Amino acid sequence: MRLLLVEDDPRAARALERGLREEGFAVEVALDGEEGLFRAREGGFDCLILDVMLPKLDGFTLLAEARAAGVTAPAMFLTARDALPDRLRGLEAGGDYLVKPFAFSELVLRLHNLLQRNPPQGPERTVGDLHLDPVRRRVHRQGQRLDLTAQEYALLELLSRNAGHVVTRTRIAEELWEMAFDGDPNLVDAAVRRLRRKVDDPFPDKLIQTRRGVGYLLEAPRG
């Protein structure tokens, strides 16, 4: 599940990004309204999380221009402005509204509720006999539900979004741990081994493939 977070406070943006990644979301961050609009127009996001008071372009205008450009992803506004006119403006703009300061657990719960009310087009992903439901964050293989941790799910979701294509260790490290990859493969390889124990080891066909020296891909066996 891909989120676009537009927040001009770098410290707040880093904290939210880290927490959302730990919850299994893939997160991209923009620090001003113009950058946020540019990324939103690129598409591929399942939800937009928008601060209202942004430099260059406020959150309400950002969403209006994104909608005019055909962006249909649901949106949530984060703001310290809790006056009724502001809340009504946010709702009229087509977004949910969460007043700062807020509990992170409330943000996560409201995100899940928002995504369930506005599921992405074609949310189900299938690779061989593996099925992912990004809205409910459930994974089944051969009809058996797999119990994955948040990090394991985030890794599998990343591989499934790129099914049939190699995902480099660098990208995995950046998306799962918000860190620059220094060439040591141990962290990523250990995460893949843990995921394989649940996704591949109990089944005859192996879906997670290794491309030595490059990365991994999720692909159904051929033939």
**Digit-coded pLDDT (tens) for 13-64:** 999 998 998 888 889 999 999 999 999 998 778 899 999 889 999 988 999 8
pLDDT tens digits for range 114-165: 777 765 555 578 899 999 887 677 899 998 999 998 888 888 988 988 888 8
Residue 135 neighbours by CB distance under 10 Å: 17
Cα(218)–Cα(199) distance, rounded to whole angstroms?
A: 11
Residue-range domains of the chain with CATH: 2-117 (3.40.50.2300), 125-218 (1.10.10.10)
Cα(5)–Cα(139) distance, rounded to whole angstroms?
A: 26
Cα(167)–Cα(100) distance, rounded to whole angstroms?
A: 36
Q: Is 60 helix (H, G, I), strand (E, B) or coil?
A: helix
Whether this prediction's pTM lies above 0.75 is answered by no
